[in-house]
Chains A and B, each alone.
Chain A
Amino acid sequence: MSRRVDVEVGKSGQVKIEFYGFEGDLCYEEAESIGNILRTLGLKAVPLSITPKTQSEIEAEVGIEEAPRRKVSVS
């Protein structure tokens, strides 16, 4: 699955970022990288909330893997 970052910038510059398709803690590392670049551009982003996605939300993103199919002989 490809990685995706959706960002919504509100009226007075409030930013909401949603990460899709990142394994493990990679999304937190990516958030840090984005934050570092924003700082070099003069935009300080102060976290208001950080909400990990639930297992069901992650499964909905990546799709539940199907169980491996078994060959059955038909005679």
Chain B
Amino acid sequence: MSHISSYKTEIKLDNALSAGRLVEEDPGWDVLNEAVHATAEEMNLDVTRTFRDYYGRSIACDWGLVGPDIPRGIGITVDRKTGEVVFSCDPYGGYEKIAGEIKDRVVQNYASLCVAKALAALNYNVEVDEVKHPVEGKKILIKGVL
């Protein structure tokens, strides 16, 4: 039999932590790095190590994404104790929407990279395609054939 299943996803880099290693050594760390850089390229953003608040104060993060539409930027930090991935920004002044779009795109790219890697690890031939849905936005289609 075959079936169709739907999942909601959550990023948590806790595999290395639970083995007593640094979160930077987690297999997901490199995937997140790849997802952030892919998002930067798609949305014309720069990757930094800080973002800013309304008062101009610089806040350190693991990855910052800054661009003309979000000059203060958005920060992505992995909690060193739990592996939780936290997105932060100061949205005052109407930056909630773009910050949400950036977050969604990073999560979407991360999930897509993970799925493609999982299928490849199971020896599937993998093809990745993108479609733009008028309401639901960009969808990433991954086809694996054995």
Contact = CB atoms under 8 A, between A and B. Distances in A.
A binds B: yes
A46 B10 contact: yes
Contacts of B48: none
A49 B56 CA distance: 45
Interface in B35-92: 83
Interface residues of B, number: 46
Interface centre among B7, B31, B118 (most CB of A within 10 A): B7
Nearest to A18: B4
Q: Which applies to chain B's interface (DSSP): helix, strand, loop or mixed? A: mixed
B9 A11 contact: no
Contact of B111 (A9, A28, A47): A9
Contacts of B143: 4-7
Given A3-B146, A31-B3, A41-B117, 13 more contacts: A9-B115, A15-B9, A19-B2, A22-B1, A27-B3, A38-B115, A42-B26, A43-B114, A44-B9, A45-B7, A47-B5, A51-B4, A52-B3
Interface of A: 2-25, 27-28, 30-31, 33-34, 37-53, 57-58, 61
